[in-house]
A and B are shown apart, each in its own frame.
Chain A
């Protein structure tokens, strides 16, 4: 019974981290530009992230250690230093982007200028982390996150031509600018395979005390959770493709995306978009901020845990406080949230090999994992993932320069 509850919560949590400002930005752009032609990019990225999250959870369940902890211990500080610095940088950029998303949602609702909400958004996230325990956080953000199902409802209501949607599930030659097509494809992959997702997952598994018996649950959570988040993201592509693309509306600015639900839901569509975006970005900001703290605390061996009172792990608390503050500065000084998000996604895609490789190496350590180390399938997946992330790393920066219209 307890495992069933864990499964349900784990799935909801995964959805919360999956659909965030990055997915909103890249999926609405994809749908607006290329209708349903880029659904395959979302599917591919989802499969990859399912493997990565499953490995991360399995690792934590078997060793009782989270990834940053294990990587420093196993490979030494020198090896971990570079991924650690990169991971921290990405974390802060993602926090900035999520705060940008929250601020945009608040701007939509109130009509007030966006930068005004940078600090309030950061403070809201901070308060939540300051007062809550891990389970309280996961439960509340998960349930709130269910509002994003409105995208699925809208996609169904709009009745897109099914054969076109299915055709988009397989890669095809773009009808339109090839550079722009691959630019958006890479940005989707960068947005979905967010490093914080699989790093956070391992720390979360340790927080709730998973052991070996949770390996099957872990697998189910990875597949269903990520899959569910993917369905919502694909729905966003479909809605953008059905509403924006026929009118020739591109998403060069979040304001253009904000209209997408008004066709399916004339009265509530605008509010639903704002609330969905606000809640999704809030939930993700909470997770990324926590992930930053986990990474620092585990790297240096500090006391850590969201269940502890702040007085018991002051340094852990300090890290998320500083990260949130620094992240909010980007939005405060007026960085456009969409541009900030896309930049972050591209940098994230470019550095994936550095942050994914340590985990993939660990998954084959028989001494650590004994019989739970990677089997053939996981290792084939890992090898392909390494190749893919290396290709991404090489093409992402040039594409960002060339293909961004």
Chain B
């Protein structure tokens, strides 16, 4: 009887097992979502639709999410190219967030526009990875 439970548990584990690559891409999903959020936030700030305080608060929340994803990457067993790629997009987004933060303080619309574009690219790259994973 005990052997039956054992095999059952193994089978269950095997069925629900995702590869380390898939797990990492899933873990990066919130980061991609925040990048898209910052893109929209930046666009709306340029449109004068949202106040600067909101942009600041959103950047703060996004950075926390980026930090969490960085931690997950560090512990991940996924292959190196994938980890590096996601790390790259995270860095782009982080830098863009920093630029956006400064841009709104100085009302620098040009820098803000640049930051928005980089958010768009980074989130698009991560979403491409998601789509590739779903096709597998």
Contact = CB atoms under 8 A, between A and B. Distances in A.
A250 B54 contact: no
B37 interface: yes
Given A248-B32, A249-B37, A249-B40, A111 B49 contact: no
Interface residues of B, number: 26
A255 B50 contact: no
A76 interface: no
Contacts of A149: none
B32 A252 contact: no
B119 to A, nearest CB: 11
Given A248-B36, A250-B29, A266-B49, A259 B41 contact: yes
Interface stretch (B3-11, B56-64, B85-93, B105-113): B56-64
Q: Which secondary structure characterizes the binding site on chain B?
A: helix
Contacts of B51: 111, 270
Nearest to B64: A253
Contact of B30 (A107, A111, A250): A250
A267 interface: yes
Interface residues of A, number: 20
Given A111-B57, A253-B61, A259-B40, A269 B33 contact: no
B47 interface: yes
Interface in A85-142: 107-108, 110-111
Given A248-B127, A253-B61, A259 B33 contact: no
B74 to A, nearest CB: 20
B39 interface: yes
B40 A247 contact: yes
Given A255-B54, A259-B40, A405-B30, 17 more contacts: A107-B57, A110-B53, A111-B52, A111-B53, A248-B32, A248-B33, A249-B36, A250-B29, A252-B33, A253-B61, A255-B61, A256-B33, A256-B58, A262-B47, A267-B49, A270-B44, A270-B51
23 contacts: A107-B57, A108-B54, A111-B53, A111-B57, A247-B36, A247-B39, A248-B36, A248-B127, A249-B36, A250-B29, A253-B61, A255-B37, A255-B61, A256-B33, A256-B37, A259-B37, A259-B41, A267-B48, A267-B49, A269-B49, A270-B44, A270-B49, A270-B54
Interface of A: 107-108, 110-111, 247-250, 252-253, 255-256, 258-259, 262, 266-267, 269-270, 405
